[in-house]
């Protein structure tokens, strides 16, 4: 008893200001910021687009979408750039960021491991491998990557299967040492993720060597990018993302219980095994769909939930939607940087941008966490 | 309320496992307050875990309110009994209120969240467990004693029909222990059935009208406190010299250790 | 004599042994051929590593650089010199030079070329878009064919966003097809590029990567072919020039 006793009169350190900032307010702010960012991002790029013209193009497109005549038609080239290219990329980047951050949040919650994420667990690598297999064996050609052609549906399915297989392999490896899923040692799990990721990237290299002609198409998957993506990709990924998001949001309270540990969760009436299975399937759907349309993008799933936990707490009913919103926001702006930071309309892979932003930021978070003893 | 028949529980695999409980028979009628006692390793925690459905029975049967718990779903079981375990660490990032609200999980549907009734129940539980002042604190920053109060509050929020406690007050100081057992006694008067495993013989003798002693995975003694809380019984159970005297206020039997007794026993 | 994996033209070299790929030649396979001379095209850094390795083994390695027709011709002459077939090389270069001059003359005589030099976009790879920049033979081919490469990037390749392609307003859009771009979509199947002039006028063609992006005598064929596409009024010496859009030029 004495070992555990702390001074019960010490005032609790206020970690977060959730009493001043109701949690729903955070979600409201993130939503508003996302909308504003979307409009601003549609006005940024190498093609000249004055704000007024950009707004007119957006309003006109919105009008067409809902079947009303709103605003005057604009220059068709500008309209294509603002709506078909930029707005589509904004939407896809936001959805992908939201999916990756939500999936990261779920992986961290289910495995009770702050380092878990689609990227570190090898789930993204698995999805990329699945996509590579589909490309190499001609199930999805270059045409399919650009979202057209008959076999488009095949690619996300392969990416998803790859994601699930990689996850199963990592969990089996991590479990071999430590029994139950919620009690795996953090290091074991991350090491298992590294092993599986390395193995998969070797397999991808093997596929590339076997068929050098597909190298360009495969590299396309490994380096995350939104270049050349359009609304067809949004349509392709949205069903998977919606189902995945619905699944995990629906079970947000179960994540809270799982955070207590398996025994506590079961005492409170949760079938922990079944809950974990569904949550992991949901998170894999989200990451698989994200990789299927954007390639491998790191750090979003790791940094966003971490940051938000420090600010709004660990309750997943708020944390999950907030992670989705902030993840979307982060990737939206990362993509704007990726497509506009180089002169002459040249592009950076967006994965490079998120790694450059996320890497140092994550180090900062780790430093703060170890200082705070949390 | 609880009926246990020939319960055997093993740790590990069915073949190579180590049997910890060797055929327990126990009946706790509705409305009793029972103290579960026994030396270290006698199987108290294992019995509580088996009753709470955390450990499967190797053989035998556990009935809670007439239902075989092996056939109940997690949710149905959680609605019938609430449980406070020992050595629980609260995860980071949750407030005490959020933690107590989680006790209501089994009461909510899959689609609906925690409703006004759940919030009210959590509030009442916090109040009854004298934990209302902690409600806005971060659960991970509480002291060992505070967290036990919060877990008791969560158990109350979950349900008051049947409470299982495993060393639920061992981290509390003396005043808080009395407070907690006063609360259990009040709940018991209000109709709750309580089975509490504990080390503190005297606390058990003060509050529990009935005691069950476990030793080496078997029930050694089971009966009214006044009858079985005797010097001979306790000496046999704990294998050391123990004297029993009446409590100065209530007259309940209280055990007192004798210094140097272990050397004499070995002598 | 040997070839790399990707060398497939002319068809007669297909029976030659393969020594790996141009990026990572198999040193053992090269040595096994006991060559008198190894030819290596300059360019990528990775490619210079095997050169060093081969030289260490006492092989004669000649590294060439060919990003203009003048450089290409000098390479042909030097290879002729090194292999003892100077005369053949000289004849070949003369012939190629004459064809280029003839093409230039024909174009300057054409009224169309005097008034317009269409802005040409050359797609190296898609959908992970890579375009031909100013450096490199593709730019030379476009110039000799009476066009202007609209990508201003000084490098050989430029990674561009789609909106940049729209901003460049290319009047002709070339999509190379070959190992680097195995399954490109035709321009009319790319809705986001529908507003560029090349798409509106239908001046979009698939071209052969081997002809345009590999240095060699075939680059002159490419210039003639492209001149015929950009300026159909001149009589192109190319055997058959498709005029309808999205036809293969092979």
Q: What is the pLDDT of residue A147?
A: 41
Contact yes or no for A346 and C179 at CB 8 A: no
Q: What is the pLDDT of residue A66?
A: 82
Percent of chain C with pLDDT over 90: 22
Residues of A in contact with C191 (CB under 8 A): 84, 230
Q: What is the pLDDT of residue B203?
A: 93
DSSP structure class, residue C110: S
Closest CA to A292 of A129, A173, A161, A127: A127
Q: Could you tell me the residue ranges of all domains in chain A?
A: 31-363
What is the value of ipTM here, to two decimals?
Answer: 0.90
Give the strand pairing for B67-68 and B59-64: antiparallel
Task: Tell me which of 3.40.50.1860, 3.30.70.1450, 1.10.3470.10, 3.20.20.150 is the CATH number of domain A31-363.
Answer: 1.10.3470.10
Contact yes or no for C128 and A212 at CB 8 A: no
Closest CA to B138 of A313, A23, A323: A313
Percent of chain C with pLDDT over 70: 83
Q: What is the CA radius of gyration of chain B?
A: 19
Residues of A in contact with B111 (CB under 8 A): 250
Chain A, 73-132: which have a CB under 8 Å from a chain C CB? Answer: 76-77, 79-81, 84-86
Residue B55 contacts A where some CB pair is shorter than 8 Å: no
**Where residue C236 falls among pLDDT bands split at 50, 70, 90?**
very low
Percent of chain A with pLDDT over 70: 81
Q: What is the pLDDT of residue B63?
A: 94
Residues of A in contact with C168 (CB under 8 A): 345
Is C24 a residue whose pLDDT tops 70? no
Reported as a single tens digit per residue, the pLDDT across A255-269 is: 999 999 888 999 999
C-beta separation of A126 from A196 below 8 A: yes
CA dist A128 and A337 (Å) reads: 24
**Where residue C122 falls among pLDDT bands split at 50, 70, 90?**
very high
Reported as a single tens digit per residue, the pLDDT across A52-91 is: 888 988 988 888 888 777 667 678 888 889 999 999 999 9
Q: What is the pLDDT of residue A138?
A: 66
Joined together, the tokens standing for residue C216 give 């060699």
Tell me what percent of chain B is helix, strand and coil, each rounded to the nearest 5: 40, 25, 35
Q: Helix (H, G, I), strand (E, B), or coil: what is residue C172?
A: strand
Contact yes or no for A143 and C183 at CB 8 A: yes
User: Which of A31-40, A335-344, C47-56 has the highest mean predicted lDDT (pLDDT)?
Assistant: A31-40
Residues comprising chain A, all counted: 374
Q: What is the pLDDT of residue C1?
A: 66
What's the rounded mean pLDDT across residues A117-124?
A: 87
Q: What is the pLDDT of residue B146?
A: 86
Residue A24 contacts B where some CB pair is shorter than 8 Å: no
Q: What is the pLDDT of residue C136?
A: 85
Residue C192 contacts A where some CB pair is shorter than 8 Å: yes
Question: Taking CB atoms and an 8 Å cut-off, how many pairs form between chains A and C?
Answer: 105
DSSP string, A13-51: P----TTTS-HHHHHHHHHHHHHHHHHHHTT-SSS---H
Contact yes or no for B143 and A263 at CB 8 A: no
Closest CA to C144 of C99, C197, C94, C92: C99
Q: What is the pLDDT along chain B (267 residues), one digit of tens a residue?
A: 899 999 999 887 655 678 899 999 999 999 999 999 998 889 999 999 999 998 888 899 999 998 999 999 999 999 999 999 887 778 888 999 999 999 999 998 877 788 899 999 999 999 988 899 999 999 988 888 888 889 999 999 999 999 999 987 777 788 888 888 998 999 999 999 999 999 899 999 999 999 999 999 999 999 999 999 999 999 988 888 889 999 999 999 999 988 877 666 554
CA dist B99 and B69 (Å) reads: 26
Reported as a single tens digit per residue, the pLDDT across A178-227 is: 556 555 666 777 788 889 988 998 888 888 777 666 666 666 666 788 88
Contact yes or no for A146 and C190 at CB 8 A: yes
Q: What angle do CA C225, C229, C234 make, to 5 degrees?
A: 85
Is C238 a residue whose pLDDT tops 60? no
Q: Give the chain B residue nearest A311 (alpha carbons).
A: B93
CA dist B197 and B206 (Å) reads: 14
Closest CA to B195 of B167, B235, B234, B175: B167
**Residue range(s) in chain C whose domain bears CATH number 3.40.50.1980:** 11-64, 115-234
Contact yes or no for C192 and A48 at CB 8 A: no
Q: What average pLDDT does the structure give for chain C?
A: 81
C-beta separation of A269 from B154 below 8 A: no
Q: In CATH, what number does C115-234 get?
A: 3.40.50.1980
CB atoms within 10 A of CB B245: 10
Q: What is the pLDDT of residue B206?
A: 94
Residues of C in contact with A230 (CB under 8 A): 191-192
CA dist B175 and B239 (Å) reads: 29
Reported as a single tens digit per residue, the pLDDT across C25-35 is: 777 777 777 77
C-beta separation of B24 from B200 below 8 A: no
What's the rounded mean pLDDT across residues C85-112?
A: 87
Region of residue B138 (phi > 0: left; psi between -120 and 50: alpha; otherwise: beta): beta
Beta bridge partners of residue A359, listed in sequence order: none
Instruction: Name the CATH topology of C11-64.
Output: Rossmann fold (3.40.50)
**Where residue A144 falls among pLDDT bands split at 50, 70, 90?**
very low
Who wins on pLDDT, C36 or B163?
A: B163
Contact yes or no for A253 and B114 at CB 8 A: yes
Q: What is the pLDDT of residue A296?
A: 86
Q: Helix (H, G, I), strand (E, B), or coil: what is residue A144?
A: helix
Residues of A in contact with B85 (CB under 8 A): 263-264, 267
Joined together, the tokens standing for residue A197 give 């990721």
Reported as a single tens digit per residue, the pLDDT across C45-68 is: 556 677 777 888 878 787 877 888
Reported as a single tens digit per residue, the pLDDT across A257-313 is: 999 988 899 999 999 888 988 999 899 999 989 988 888 898 899 999 998 988 888
Contact yes or no for B92 and A374 at CB 8 A: yes
Q: Helix (H, G, I), strand (E, B), or coil: what is residue C38?
A: strand
DSSP string, C195-223: TSHHHHHT-EEEEEHHHHTS-STHHHHHH
B and A make contact (3+ CB pairs below 8 Å): yes
Contacts of B142 by beta carbon, 8 Å cutoff, 6+ apart: A8, A12, B90, B96, B134, B150
What's the rounded mean pLDDT across residues A97-112?
A: 94
CA dist A14 and A24 (Å) reads: 19
Q: What is the pLDDT of residue A214?
A: 62
Q: What is the pLDDT of residue A17?
A: 38
């Amino acid at each position: 008893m004495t070992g555990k006793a702390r001074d019960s009169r010490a005032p609790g350190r206020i970690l977060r200001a959730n009493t001043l900032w109701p949690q729903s307010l955070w979600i409201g702010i993130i939503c508003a910021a996302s909308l504003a960012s979307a409009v601003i991002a549609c006005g940024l790029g190498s093609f000249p687009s004055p704000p007024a013209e950009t707004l007119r193009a957006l309003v006109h497109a919105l009008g067409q979408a809902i079947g009303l005549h709103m605003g005057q038609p604009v220059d068709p080239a500008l309209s294509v750039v603002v709506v078909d290219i930029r707005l589509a990329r904004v939407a896809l980047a936001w959805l992908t960021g939201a999916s990756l951050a939500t999936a990261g949040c779920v992986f961290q919650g289910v495995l009770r491991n702050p380092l878990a994420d689609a990227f570190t667990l090898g789930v993204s690598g698995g999805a990329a491998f699945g996509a590579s297999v589909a490309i190499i064996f001609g199930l999805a050609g270059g045409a399919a990557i650009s979202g057209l052609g008959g076999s488009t549906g095949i690619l996300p399915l392969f990416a998803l299967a790859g994601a699930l297989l990689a996850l199963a392999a990592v969990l089996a490896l991590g479990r071999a040492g430590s029994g139950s899923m919620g009690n795996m040692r953090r290091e074991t799990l991350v090491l298992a993720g590294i092993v599986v990721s390395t193995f998969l990237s070797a397999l991808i290299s093997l596929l590339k060597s076997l068929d050098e002609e597909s190298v360009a198409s495969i590299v396309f998957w490994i380096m995350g990018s939104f270049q050349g993506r359009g609304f067809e990709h949004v349509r392709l990924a949205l069903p998977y993302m919606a189902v995945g998001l619905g699944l995990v949001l629906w079970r947000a309270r179960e994540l809270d219980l799982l955070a207590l540990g398996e025994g506590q969760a079961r005492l409170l009436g949760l079938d922990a095994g079944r809950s974990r299975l569904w949550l992991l399937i949901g998170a894999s759907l989200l990451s698989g769909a994200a990789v299927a349309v954007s390639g491998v993008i790191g750090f979003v799933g790791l940094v966003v939930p971490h940051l938000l936990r420090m600010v709004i707490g660990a309750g997943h009913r708020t944390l999950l939607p907030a992670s989705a919103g902030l993840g979307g926001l982060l990737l939206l702006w990362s993509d704007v940087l990726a497509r506009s930071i180089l002169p002459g309309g040249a592009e950076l892979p967006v994965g490079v941008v998120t790694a450059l932003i996320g890497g140092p930021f994550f180090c900062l978070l780790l430093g703060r966490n170890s200082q705070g003893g949390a | 309320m609880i009926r246990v028949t020939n319960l055997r529980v093993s740790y590990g695999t069915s073949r190579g496992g180590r049997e910890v409980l060797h055929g327990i028979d126990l009946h706790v009628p509705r409305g009793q307050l029972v103290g579960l006692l026994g030396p270290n390793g006698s199987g108290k925690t294992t019995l509580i875990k088996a009753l709470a459905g955390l450990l499967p029975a190797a053989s035998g049967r556990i009935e809670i309110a007439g239902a075989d718990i092996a056939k109940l779903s997690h949710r149905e079981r959680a609605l019938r009994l609430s449980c406070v375990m020992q050595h629980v660490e609260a995860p980071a990032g949750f407030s005490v209120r959020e933690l107590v609200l989680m006790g209501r999980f089994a009461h909510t549907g899959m689609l609906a969240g925690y409703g006004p009734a759940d919030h009210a129940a959590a509030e009442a539980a916090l109040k009854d467990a004298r934990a209302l002042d902690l409600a806005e604190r971060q659960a991970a920053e509480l002291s060992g004693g505070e967290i036990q109060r919060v877990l008791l509050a969560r158990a109350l929020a979950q349900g008051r029909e049947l409470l299982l406690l495993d060393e639920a007050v061992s981290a509390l100081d003396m005043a808080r222990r009395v407070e907690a057992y006063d609360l259990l006694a009040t709940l018991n008067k209000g109709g709750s059935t309580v089975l509490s495993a504990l080390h503190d013989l005297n606390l058990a003798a003060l509050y529990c009208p009935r005691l069950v002693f476990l030793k080496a995975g078997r029930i050694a003694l089971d009966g009214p406190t006044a009858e079985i809380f005797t010097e001979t019984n306790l000496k046999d159970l704990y294998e050391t010299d123990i004297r029993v005297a009446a409590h100065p206020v209530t007259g309940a039997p209280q055990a007192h250790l004798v210094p140097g007794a272990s050397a004499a026993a070995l002598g | 004599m040997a070839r790399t994996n990707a060398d497939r033209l002319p068809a007669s070299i297909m029976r030659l042994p393969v020594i790996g790929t141009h990026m990572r030649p198999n040193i053992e396979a090269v040595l096994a051929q006991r060559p008198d001379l190894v030819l290596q095209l300059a360019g990528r850094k990775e490619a210079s590593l095997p050169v060093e390795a081969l030289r260490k083994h006492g092989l004669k390695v000649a590294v060439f650089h060919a990003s203009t027709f003048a450089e290409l011709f000098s390479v042909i002459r030097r290879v002729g010199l090194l292999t003892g077939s100077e005369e053949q090389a000289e004849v070949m270069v003369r012939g190629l030079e004459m064809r280029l001059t003839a093409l230039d003359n024909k174009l300057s005589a054409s009224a169309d070329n005097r008034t317009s030099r269409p802005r040409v976009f050359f797609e190296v790879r898609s959908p992970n878009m890579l375009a031909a920049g100013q450096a490199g033979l593709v730019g030379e081919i476009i110039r000799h064919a009476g066009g202007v490469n609209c990508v201003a990037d000084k490098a050989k390749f430029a990674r561009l966003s789609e909106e940049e392609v729209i901003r460049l307003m290319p009047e002709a859009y070339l999509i190379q097809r070959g190992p680097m771009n195995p399954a490109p979509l035709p321009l009319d199947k790319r809705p986001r590029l529908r507003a560029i002039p090349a798409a509106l006028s239908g001046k979009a063609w698939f071209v052969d990567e081997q002809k345009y992006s590999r240095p060699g005598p075939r680059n002159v064929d490419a210039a003639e072919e492209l001149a015929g596409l950009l300026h159909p009024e001149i009589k192109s010496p190319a055997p058959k020039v498709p005029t309808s859009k999205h036809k293969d030029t092979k």
